[in-house]
Every structure is written in structure tokens, then in C-alpha cells.
Structure 1
Amino acid sequence: MNVRSSAQVAVPTAAALTVAVLAVSSSAPLIAFAAAPALAIAFWRNSLASLVLTPIALGPRRAEASRAVRGPAGMFCVLAGVALAAHFATWMPSVQLGSVATATALVATQPVWQGLIAAAQGRRPSTAGWMGIGLAVAGAAWATGADLGVSSQAVFADVLALLGALAAAVYTALGERARTELSTTTYTWICYGTCAVLLLAVCLAFGVDLAGYDGRTWAAILALVAGAQLLGHSMFNYALERTSATTISMLILLEVPGAAFLAWWWLGQTPRAESLPGLFLLVAGVAVFILGQASFKLIRR
């Protein structure tokens, strides 16, 4: 590939990654801004995204969707949807109960949980990977400990965010298995649909209001669907064909300062000084883990 063609590929990819990072960075501030229960926001976010994908899944992807429903790949899609529902049911309330900056940083520990899942499957992290896990856990403990002096609600929000990260790791592991046989559209359509059905059941069981919101809340929900749910993930998937998963994982970490900046600029949420060292340590640990795993894979090849 010559220099000109390389540049032609690099520019759209860089633009896609920029859009994706900005889109996912808006997620937590929009959740905190919306005057609606977190579970209801999660339901609408997934159900509307699934609705948008339906014409494609039942049109050009109809044969694939039909095979998926009848085959084992469909089971992994459904299980991924269950894990995604658990992720949204824990992380999204954490954003409304606590700090946007802390919740986003704690949910960014997903790669660390992913590494522990891989270790349980016999794919042990490298030495640098274990160092990253240690740093991330220490940072999470520091940030959570700083919230002990704030309120029990803040600590509860931290625990929910960590559970959300664990659920996201399980969701990704199951999705990785499903994606070996299915396209992104078919996989996400089944996964989002399953997630929406489960969240609807939870909302109805606990009497969560699903309507009656003001205009700004509906606008925030639609922005979540168009931004973080569809545009952010779609752009990352587009870029994944042209850049490494490690690069994308590193760029996703930019969601932490991005969300913190938006929460400060838009919502007036200034990160607590006591938690900042822990948040920085946490992000550094995740970065060390990802880079360590990438180096380990290169050495083994």
C-alpha cells in the first residue's frame, strides 16, 4: 500500500475513532442529566437501538438471523444480552447515585476483569498484566475509600460501578464467542433485544415509570441511543477492521477524562480531590494491563 492510499485509510479511521470516543464519553453525563430512573433509561436505550437495527436484521440479514435463532450462536447472543442487562442495571444507577468521574473510571476496569476471566479459562495474563491488575485494584480501592468520607450512597455507587464493569467483561467474553459466527448487526440486534426484554420485566416488576418524562429527558435518551449505543459502538467496530483491538482499548480509556470534563463543564460536577489520585492510579493500571497483554501476545508469536 503506497503512502497516499495509507493516508486515505488512516484519515477515515482516525475520524471514526474520534467520533466514537466523543460518543461514549457523553454516556455518563447524559444519564446523570436525564430526569428518569436509570433502569428505564437502560430499557429505552436498548429497545430503541434494537428497533433501529430491526429493518436490517429482518431484511438483508434475515437468513443469518434465522440461523442464529436456531443455532448455538443465538444462545451466546442471548446470554450476552443477559450480561448486558446486568451491566446497565448496575452501572447506570451508579452514575445517578454517585460521581460521573468515579463511576466512569470504575467501569473502565472492564479490561482487568476480562483478563481475570481469561486467566480462569487458562489464558493467564503476563507479568505486566498482573502488575496492571494490582495498580487498577489499588486505584479502585483508593477512590472507593475516599468516598467513605462522603456517604454510604457514594460507596454503594462505587460497588455498583465495579459490578457493572464485571458484567461488561462477561458480556464481551460471550459476545466474542457469538461474533465468530455472526455479523455485528445480527449479534447486536439479538443481544440488545434480549437486554431490553429483561430490563422491561425488571421495570414492570418494581413499578419503574417508563413514560411521563419531560422533553429534555427524552432528548437525553435519544442522544444516548444515537450516540453511545449506536454511533459509538458502530464506529469502534468500523475501526476494528483497520486498527488493533489494543489501540481501541487504550482509546476507550479516554472516556474517563472525557466524561469527567463533560460532567464538570455541563453538570457542574467537580471531581473530589481526595479521589483523584485513586482515579489516576486506576486508569494507569488498566493502561499497563492492556499494554502488557499486547506485548505478551507479540512475544508468544
Structure 2
Amino acid sequence: MSSAAHRPPLDPVTTGALVLAVAAVSSSAPLIAFAAAPALAVAFWRNVLSVAVLAPFSLARRRAEFRALTVGAGRREGLFCVLSGVALAAHFATWMPSAQLTSVAAATALGATQPVWQGLIARAQGRRLPVAVWAGVGVAVVGAVLATGADFAVSGRAFAGDLLAIAGGMFAAVYSAFGERARATISTTTYTTICYGVCALLLLVTCLVGRVPLTGFDAGTWAAVLALVAGAQLLGHSMFNYALRRVSAVTISVLILLEAPGAALIGWVWLDQLPRPLALPGLALLLAGVAVVVLGSRAARRVPPVPTAVPADTAPLRD
């Protein structure tokens, strides 16, 4: 049974957290594009600094919960936290570079394909999906092809960024799936501390192996990193993780789509980035298709899954 059946009712605090989260994550791609530093380095610092903020509080207040995750049945929830961190590292390693290679609008919209990937994963697990979901997948794929095709005609760099953004959306599906399972029983601070910590460790190893510089950046870049930590990471990711206890991930999936126009607007006003005219119809189709998939998945939740299936109700917790 999905944990959604046991969620408490929506309250004003959760509503405010969702509004704040959408506004915060909309700044992510523009800040990454602005930062004069390797995307992997920015990803590492935003996670390790977030852990530095969260860990003292969570370790002081949640010691018993941390211990419970290392023994008995709690190990399963602890494993979900770790696997979520692994998937988040893979997401950051693909999506964040895309924001520096292609336009802010394209990186954000193509990264929002997570519900499409989640629908396909659910089908592979044996879950029957409504016709509306398949129609949405089709529309989203056509939109992605049009958008990436327009970028391929412009430059190979932008096309590579598009492909990385799509991969980032796929890893976001895995991240949010594990996250929802973990958040069914684990507090927000404990979950985010473990998840971000695992993510930061993996990104550090990747940067060291790849000889990616982690220091020597200008003041503007460090300011962008700190803004990412305070905004997209702590107010964005963490507020969405908090809301998963009271709001279905399907609803969050719809709300997160508001990030795309928000990021495009910030990119236009701040970075003078206008989406390429040929890409606009594709991006519009892409977002429309994703919205259809998200809404259509509500019907899928009413269909009894086969015994080996896991809930397909997951949200894109990305930026």
C-alpha cells in the first residue's frame, strides 16, 4: 500500500512551504549558469554546505532516529536514504552541467521529464497505465525531440546539454522514488542530512578523480553557491521533502512544472537568455505532455498493482 493513504491533511504551513519551494527552485538553473565554476564543483559545495547547516541540528535532535536506521527493520529505511543520495548525485552530475551547456529554459524544461520516466519505470514493473499517461508520454517525447532538434541545429554544445538535462530528469525519478519511501517514516532533517551527505561524498570523489577544481573561484561564484544552498537546496529540496508527508507526489509533480517558466523568466531578465524561437513550441509541448502524464497517473493509482510493483507516485525533487 502506498504511504499516500496515511498522509495527514494539508495545512497552511505545508501550503506556504510549497509556494516557497517553487520560488526557490526556479532560481537554480540561472544561478548555475551564472557561476564561473565547473558544475560538478558547484554541485559538491551546495550539498556539503547544506549538510554543514543541517547536521548539527539533526544530530542533536534526532540521535535516536539515526541509531534506529542502523539496526533491525530500520536498516531498510536507512538504505532508502542512502540510495536516494546516490541517485541525487547522479542527477546533479548530469542536470547541473546541462544548465551551463544549453539555455536555462531548455535545461529546466527537459529536466522536468521526470514524471515521464517514472511512468515508464512503473510500466516496466508491471503496472498498467491509463491511455492518458501514454498520450502524455507521446506528446512529451515529440516536444523533447523538437526542442533538442532545434538546439542540435544551433550547436553541438547545446545539444549535449539537452541530453544531459534529459538524463538528469531520469535520475530525478529514481531520487524521488527512494525519497518518498524514506519519508514515509523518517523525519525531514534526518532524511535530508543522510541524503545530502551521501550525495556530497560521491560528488567529492568524482571531482577528485576527474581533477575538477574545488577552489579559486571569484566572489560572484561563491555568492551564487551560497544562494543555491539557501534557496534551491534548503528552501527548495527540503521544503518539498517536508511536504511529501502531507501532499501526494503527483500534486507536487504538477507544482514543480511552475519552475520552468519561472527559471526562463529569471534567465531572460538576469542573464539575457531568450529561448531559441525554434525550441519554444517543443518546450511547450514537452511541459504539456508531462502535465498530462502527472494528472493521468492519478488514475493509475486506482488500478491494483501486481505484487512486485512499487508506487509510481513520485515527484521531481530536482534543483
1:215 to partner: Cα distance:
1.2
2:129 paired residue among 105, 125, 128: 125
Q: Deviations over 1:190-249 (max 9, x none)?
A: 111111011001111111111111111111101101111110123334444554433221
Cα distance in structure 2, aligned partners of 1:67 and 1:10 = 29
SS of equivalent residue, structure 1 residue 162: helix
Cα distance in structure 1, aligned partners of 2:286 and 2:204 = 34
Cα distance in structure 2, aligned partners of 1:188 and 1:69 = 16
> Are the structure 2 counterparts of residues 195 and 237 from structure 1 closer, same or farther at C-alpha, using a change threshold of 3 Å?
closer
SS of equivalent residue, structure 2 residue 274: coil
> Are the structure 2 counterparts of residues 241 and 194 from structure 1 closer, same or farther at C-alpha, using a change threshold of 3 Å?
closer
**Sequence identity of aligned pairs in percent?**
65
1:33-52 matches, within 5 Å, as 33-52=34-53
1:29 aligns with 2:33: no
Cα distance in structure 1, aligned partners of 2:27 and 2:259 = 8
2:94 paired residue among 74, 90, 97: 90
Would the aligned equivalents of 1:115 and 1:124 in 2 still touch at CA under 8 Å?
no
Q: Deviations over 1:10-46 (max 9, x none)?
A: 6544433221111000000000011111000000011
1:58 aligns with 2:62: no
Q: Which moved more, 1:236-245 or 1:217-226?
A: 236-245
Gaps of 5+ in 2: 1-9, 305-319
SS of equivalent residue, structure 1 residue 59: helix
1:149 paired residue among 135, 147, 153: 153
> Are the structure 2 counterparts of residues 242 and 194 from structure 1 closer, same or farther at C-alpha, using a change threshold of 3 Å?
closer
In terms of fraction of residues, the more helix-rich structure is 1
1:126 to partner: Cα distance:
1.4
What is the total number of aligned residue pairs between the two structures? 293
Partner of 1:5: none
1:260-271 matches, within 5 Å, as 260-271=264-275
SS of equivalent residue, structure 1 residue 149: helix
Would the aligned equivalents of 2:128 and 2:303 in 1 still touch at CA under 8 Å?
no
1:11-26 matches, within 5 Å, as 12-26=13-27
Q: Which amino acid aligns with 1:229?
A: Q
1:164-243 matches, within 5 Å, as 164-243=168-247
Would the aligned equivalents of 2:188 and 2:242 in 1 still touch at CA under 8 Å?
no
Partner of 2:291: 287
2:276 paired residue among 262, 272, 282: 272
Q: Deviations over 1:108-141 (max 9, x none)?
A: 0001111111222222321111111111111111
Q: Which amino acid aligns with 2:108?
A: T
Cα distance in structure 2, aligned partners of 1:122 and 1:181 = 26
Cα distance in structure 1, aligned partners of 2:151 and 2:120 = 26
1:179 to partner: Cα distance:
2.5
Cα distance in structure 2, aligned partners of 1:206 and 1:53 = 28
2:259 paired residue among 255, 262, 281: 255
Cα distance in structure 2, aligned partners of 1:262 and 1:212 = 27
> Are the structure 2 counterparts of residues 170 and 21 from structure 1 closer, same or farther at C-alpha, using a change threshold of 3 Å?
same
Q: Deviations over 1:144-173 (max 9, x none)?
A: 111111111111111111111111111112
1:109 aligns with 2:113: yes
Partner of 2:312: none
Q: Which amino acid aligns with 1:31?
A: I
1:92 to partner: Cα distance:
0.4
SS of equivalent residue, structure 2 residue 170: helix
Q: Structure 2-normalised TM-score?
A: 0.87
Runs of 4 or more consecutive aligned structure 1 residues displaced over 6 Å after TM superposition: none
Would the aligned equivalents of 2:130 and 2:297 in 1 still touch at CA under 8 Å?
yes
Would the aligned equivalents of 1:68 and 1:182 in 2 still touch at CA under 8 Å?
no
Q: Which amino acid aligns with 1:187?
A: Y
Cα distance in structure 2, aligned partners of 1:191 and 1:237 = 11
Q: What value does the CA root-mean-square deviation take over the aligned residues?
A: 1.9
Cα distance in structure 1, aligned partners of 2:193 and 2:245 = 20
Would the aligned equivalents of 2:183 and 2:241 in 1 still touch at CA under 8 Å?
no
Cα distance in structure 1, aligned partners of 2:192 and 2:105 = 27
